[in-house]
Amino acid sequence: MNKWVFFFILLGLCLFTISCGNKRMPRPYVKEDLFFWDKVKFNYTKGCLFVDATIKGKCENLKKVWIGIDEGKCLGCPFNGSFFLPDKIDKKGCKVHIVFCRKLKLPFRFELVGENVYQGLGQTSEVFVVNKR
């Protein structure tokens, strides 16, 4: 009897280790899952930045949008701004309308950042200069 119990325990352990296998998280197809900002139009009026952008690539993978604001006087320097969530985002297909309201001193730069649903693919971003209302 003890031999059979030992045999079934050993058999169960063997089956358990075989069934576990090597499981991995699904990996995104890099080229197919990337997106980037294609056409970006913006306007700063009455303390609000209005941005209309078109996404090229896999626009369904846009998870979140951030706006970076740099009011520094050196427009050619590396971007050193603070990042915020926009006040309003409307996404229809591959078109995004963003509203961000803050009183800002002209000229300023803003960075439009799109976060991918696949964290390993990083973010797509582009910097723009606003120098008039």
What is the 3-state secondary structure of the chain? CHHHHHHHHHHHHHHHHHHHCCCCCCCCCHHHHCEEEEEEEEEEECCEEEEEEEEEECHHHEEEEEEEEECCCCCCCCCCCEEECCCEEEEECCEEEEEEECCCCCCEEEEEEEEECCHHHCEEEEEEEECCC
Domain count of the fold of the chain: 1
Is 11 part of a structural domain of the chain?
Answer: no
Is 61 part of a structural domain of the chain?
Answer: yes
Is 109 part of a structural domain of the chain?
Answer: yes
| Span 35-68, pLDDT tens digits | 999 999 999 999 999 999 999 999 999 999 999 9
Is 18 part of a structural domain of the chain?
Answer: no
Residue 116 bridge partners (DSSP): 62
Is 50 part of a structural domain of the chain?
Answer: yes
Is 14 part of a structural domain of the chain?
Answer: no
Is 20 part of a structural domain of the chain?
Answer: no
Structural domain boundaries, residue 84? 30-130
CATH number for the domain spanning 108: value is: 2.60.40.10
Is 116 part of a structural domain of the chain?
Answer: yes
Digitized pLDDT (tens) for each residue of the chain, 133 residues in all: 677 877 777 777 666 666 555 566 666 567 788 999 999 999 999 999 999 999 999 999 999 999 999 998 788 888 888 999 999 999 999 999 999 999 999 999 999 999 999 888 888 999 999 987 6
pTM of the model: 0.74
